[in-house]
Amino acid sequence: MFSLSTRISGARSLWMGAALFLAVLPVAAQTFDPKMPASVPAAEGPVVEAYGLRYIEIKAGDGAPAAPGQEYTVHYTGWLRDGTKFDSSVDRGKPLQFIQGRRQVIAGWDSGFGGMKVGGKRRLFIPYQIAYGELGRGRTIPPKAELIFDVELLGVRDVPPAPAANADLNYGLADLEEHVMALAKAVPEEKYSWRPSEGVRTFQRVFLHIAYGTQLMLKMAQGTATPEELNKQIQDNSKNEEQPVNKAKVLEELTASFAALHRVLASANAVTLQHPVSLFGADITTNGELIKLETHIAEHLGQAIAYARMNGIVPPWSK
């Protein structure tokens, strides 16, 4: 079965946004002929240019209008420009369902149903820029392939809003922050210099390692620092962790680090989270580095919990 999935570079789901418009600026200048080979059923009607593509309104629907963010139920048949049919839900007898705007389908589909009503039929002429791009897809879709679809809108329905782009990152952060801060407050100040053995971190260093490590990894996630700057901060963090400070200063540093993390997550969106970041020869995204950051906090929270148990300190949330 052919897939309309957009898991390739260059496909973006927009209703009528500027990004989609910019992606298809060359389309208007391209030579276009709605005539298809004899193997493709004829579609009569004027060609409409809208949403970065062209379409023929084969039949106007008289049902509910298709609204952005709804789930659409659609029958379709797809052809290449030479008349080769590459997929058809009609042939399978099973319509496709997708939620508009969530990048579940190619960008041309996300925008191609604007203004339709249930019962309507269209022939979509989707340029490669909002289909599968310059590379195509496997053996089915050649590079730079214009795709032609006959689509029928069978139904629309409202669905719950999509979770925020940063929802997964925020999900466990509240517990992490609450537990780190509660334990740092519960440990008596005289215990902050305690360590289980030589060569390992003290309570103080564990908590400061969380605070300073969070600030460091936020810089990594945002991709704003050079490798030289990151290396210097790593060295400075190690030195600062060893400086004798009181409990109040440790709590202040922890509070500041969590506040910085909240600010970054509050401004994150689906685009910024997928920003590529190169760290010491490894390629990752902002989202990936933020996941590592939260894992780092959890790792050293576990270390602090072990220290607390060894000293007969019961974590406040366990009482």
Residue after which a domain boundary falls, among 157, 185, 212: 157
298 in the same domain as 185:
yes
CA distance 40 to 83: 6
8 within a domain of the structure (yes/no): no
Q: Is 8 a catalytic residue?
A: no
Set 2, 86, 291, 305: catalytic member: 86
CA distance 66 to 68: 7
4 within a domain of the structure (yes/no): no
Residue after which a domain boundary falls, among 127, 157, 187: 157
Query: What string of pLDDT tens digits covers the 319 residues of the chain?
Result: 456 654 333 333 333 343 344 444 445 445 688 999 999 999 999 999 987 899 999 999 999 999 999 999 999 999 999 999 999 999 999 999 999 988 889 999 999 999 999 999 999 999 999 999 888 998 899 999 999 999 999 999 999 876 677 888 888 898 999 999 999 999 999 999 999 999 899 999 999 999 999 999 999 988 878 888 889 999 999 999 988 899 999 999 999 999 999 999 888 887 788 888 877 667 888 988 999 999 999 999 999 999 999 999 999 988 6
Q: Given this model, what pLDDT does residue 5 score?
A: 58
Q: Is 33 a catalytic residue?
A: no
Are 14 and 107 in contact, with CB atoms under 8 Å apart?
A: yes
CA distance 176 to 252: 17
173 in the same domain as 145:
no
82 within a domain of the structure (yes/no): yes
Q: Is 106 a catalytic residue?
A: yes
240 within a domain of the structure (yes/no): yes
Helix-, strand-, coil-residue percentages of the chain, each rounded to 5: 40, 20, 40
162 within a domain of the structure (yes/no): no
233 within a domain of the structure (yes/no): yes
223 in the same domain as 98:
no
CA distance 253 to 14: 41
Residues across the chain: 319
Q: What is the CATH number of the domain that holds 231?
A: 1.20.120.450
Identify the three-state secondary structure at position 97.
strand
Identify the three-state secondary structure at position 113.
coil
In the chain, the number of structural domains is 2
151 in the same domain as 171:
no
Q: Is 132 a catalytic residue?
A: yes
Q: Is 210 a catalytic residue?
A: no
Q: Given this model, what pLDDT does residue 181 score?
A: 96
Number of neighbours of residue 124 by Cβ within 10 angstroms: 22
Q: What is the CATH number of the domain that holds 73?
A: 3.10.50.40
11 within a domain of the structure (yes/no): no
Are 307 and 194 in contact, with CB atoms under 8 Å apart?
A: yes
133 in the same domain as 198:
no
237 in the same domain as 108:
no
146 in the same domain as 189:
no
Spell out the residues 6+ positions from residue 204 whose beta carbon is closer than 8 angstroms to its own. Answer: 192, 193, 241, 245, 250
313 in the same domain as 174:
yes
CA distance 268 to 314: 36
153 in the same domain as 27:
yes
200 in the same domain as 74:
no
Q: Tell me the residue range of the domain where 105 lies.
A: 18-157
133 in the same domain as 181:
no
Set 55, 72, 87, 113: catalytic member: 87
Residue after which a domain boundary falls, among 97, 122, 157: 157
- Residues in a beta bridge with 150: 77, 123
Set 55, 76, 98, 258: catalytic member: 76
186 in the same domain as 314:
yes
Are 65 and 158 in contact, with CB atoms under 8 Å apart?
A: no
Q: Given this model, what pLDDT does residue 163 score?
A: 67
Set 125, 132, 192, 212: catalytic member: 132
The residue type of 146 is: E
Q: Is 86 a catalytic residue?
A: yes
Set 149, 192, 203, 307: catalytic member: 149
217 within a domain of the structure (yes/no): yes
